[in-house]
Amino acid sequence: MQKSKVGIDFSKVEYARSIAGEIAGNVQTFVEQYTTVAVERTLCRLIGIDGVDGNAVPLPNVLVDHLKDRNVLGHGALFFLANGMVATGKTPQEIAESIALGETDLTSYPFCSSQVVADMLAPLITAGMQKIADNRKRRENYINTLGEGPKPYLYVIVATGNIYEDVIQAQAAARQGADIIAVIRTTGQSLLDYVPFGATTEGFGGTFATQENFRIMRKALDEVGEEVGRYIRLCNYCSGLCMPEIAVMGALEGLDVMLNDALYGILFRDINMQRTLVDQYMSRVINGFAGVIINTGEDNYLTTADAVEEAHTVLASDLINEQLALTAGLPAEQMGLGHAFEMDPMLENGFLFELAQAQMTREIFPKAPLKYMPPTKF
């Protein structure tokens, strides 16, 4: 039996875990009954649909909205794409471009059997998954050959709004010892129901999360990693309305860490909780397969609540997030759970409270790469 340094009764921990498991199970029962526009766009991106139409609307949005307007999205975008591929001989990208031009009604083609649909989609899905698997192998090879910095990892934020300026700052930070570069998203992107396309040079309080921006920063960190002789991880954000889309884009471009918690959008952005919990599940399935560490959002709770009075909410969230992540196939080693504590210099023994909170979280989640947010009230 594990002996606690802070007096934890582990029988109570296991009871709490069982309750968290029941909560997660009830959520999952709901999640498995539904899809969302973001989930369907994610699948379109996985099989290679990219780019924008003449009005700069992303083609995954064009295609999914086309099906949504015809009240058939619940049958799945890939089902209709497969029917269209059989009927026309076109690729998914070509079909999406044709829809954008108003030339195609994807619901007009004869329905194929489930086997024909599966056979048509299999090579496309396999190719997308293989690219993600190759990125995971690339990361592992870098770590095995270059090595990495000592733990705990040093986490540095860049947020200029211009991806090319971010690159300069990120490489400078890596040369000074940073192990993880987090590119903060521009203010409000979590409320955009689409993912902008291409490299971006304007953002407020951060830089747009786009697939091209991911590619640019990944390349820059690989270059500086080879220069300094250690692998540099890349972090971004897939919370918000496009949670699974940004997750798959990050997986396709070799990101290592994603902030990935539906509660952030529910509590702070008033995002529909049913939709975002479905999206969270899909995004965590992707991150699990990609070997991406997720950071959960417990630190947000204590930005609007007393850190001492409400400290228990952090642990409760950790326990539920753990169970939801396990349900999505994400192992404990990829759960960046929070133990944030908003320190007040006027609070007697405040540092000891923080130290005890950190030790408690480490003992309850021994495999998790815990996320530490530094004190802010100074």
Per-residue pLDDT of the chain (378 residues; tens, 9 = 90+): 568 999 999 999 999 999 999 999 999 999 999 999 999 999 999 999 999 999 999 999 999 999 999 999 999 999 999 999 999 999 999 999 999 999 999 999 999 999 999 999 999 999 999 999 999 999 999 999 999 999 889 999 999 999 999 999 999 999 999 999 999 999 999 999 999 999 999 999 999 999 999 999 999 999 999 999 999 999 999 999 999 999 999 999 999 999 999 988 898 889 999 999 999 999 999 999 999 999 998 877 777 788 888 888 899 999 999 999 999 999 999 999 887 777 778 889 888 888 888 899 999 999 998 776 554 443
57: in domain: yes
Contact 364, 329 (CB under 8 A): no
Q: Choosing from 194, 264, 281, 301, which is the catalytic residue?
A: 264
Q: Choosing from 179, 237, 261, 371, which is the catalytic residue?
A: 371
Asked about 166 being catalytic, the answer comes back as: no
For the chain, how many structural domains are there in total? 1
98: in domain: yes
95: in domain: yes
| Owning domain of residue 103 | 37-120
Contact 44, 96 (CB under 8 A): yes
96: in domain: yes
Q: Choosing from 222, 299, 301, 318, which is the catalytic residue?
A: 299
Supply the CATH number for residue 50's domain.
1.10.8
- Put residue 202 in one of left, alpha, beta given phi > 0 → left and psi -120 to 50 → alpha: beta
55: in domain: yes
Whole-model pTM: value is 0.94
48: in domain: yes
Asked about 12 being catalytic, the answer comes back as: no
Element (H, E) at 274: helix 273-290
| CA dist 77 → 41, 174, 256, 308, 337 (Å) | 8, 41, 28, 47, 34
114: in domain: yes
Asked about 299 being catalytic, the answer comes back as: yes
115: in domain: yes
